């Protein structure tokens, strides 16, 4: 069975500082990995996804994530955050044998002025 752990429920960071949101997964099969973002009062929106190939994935709004198979991690990073990045971020995993996607519990990113 697959599972996703987002290690931090909340992350405060100063504006223009770098940020890393951590995600670890467990799966017995090949995986597809996703990061979604949810802005206040909205649904989720895809930031980026890893399907295969290069382990460094670039997404929208300056975010990127690195797939690390040996550490079963898919951490999300941004070199310089803006107030508009205030949102909740969800890591998700799906696998070949099961169409169901599993979401982590989310990390709230608080941008401090």
Partner 1 sequence: KAGVTQTPRYLIKTRGQQVTLSCSPISGHRSVSWYQQTPGQGLQFLFEYFSETQRNKGNFPGRFSGRQFSNSRSEMNVSTLELGDSALYLCASSLEGRPWDEQFFGPGTRLTVL
1 contributes a contact to partner 1 by CB under 8 A: no
Which residue lies nearer to partner 1 by CB, 30 or 80?
30
State the minimum distance, in angstroms, from the CB of residue 66 to partner 1.
Answer: 19
Using only C-alpha atoms, the chain has a radius of gyration, in whole angstroms, of: 14
74 contributes a contact to partner 1 by CB under 8 A: no
41 contributes a contact to partner 1 by CB under 8 A: yes
100 contributes a contact to partner 1 by CB under 8 A: yes
Q: Which positions touch partner 1 (CB under 8 A)? A: 32, 34, 36, 41-46, 49, 51, 90, 94-96, 98-106
């Amino acid at each position: 069975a697959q599972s996703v752990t987002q290690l931090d429920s909340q992350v405060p960071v100063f504006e223009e500082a770098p940020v890393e949101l951590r995600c670890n997964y467990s799966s017995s099969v090949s995986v597809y990995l996703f990061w979604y973002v949810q802005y206040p009062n909205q649904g989720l929106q895809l930031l980026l996804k890893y399907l295969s190939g290069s382990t460094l994935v670039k997404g929208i709004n300056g975010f990127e994530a690195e797939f690390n198979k040996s550490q079963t991690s898919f951490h999300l990073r941004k070199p310089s955050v803006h107030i508009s990045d205030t949102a909740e971020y969800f890591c998700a995993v799906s696998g070949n044998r099961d169409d169901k996607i599993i979401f982590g519990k989310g990390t709230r990113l608080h941008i401090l002025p």
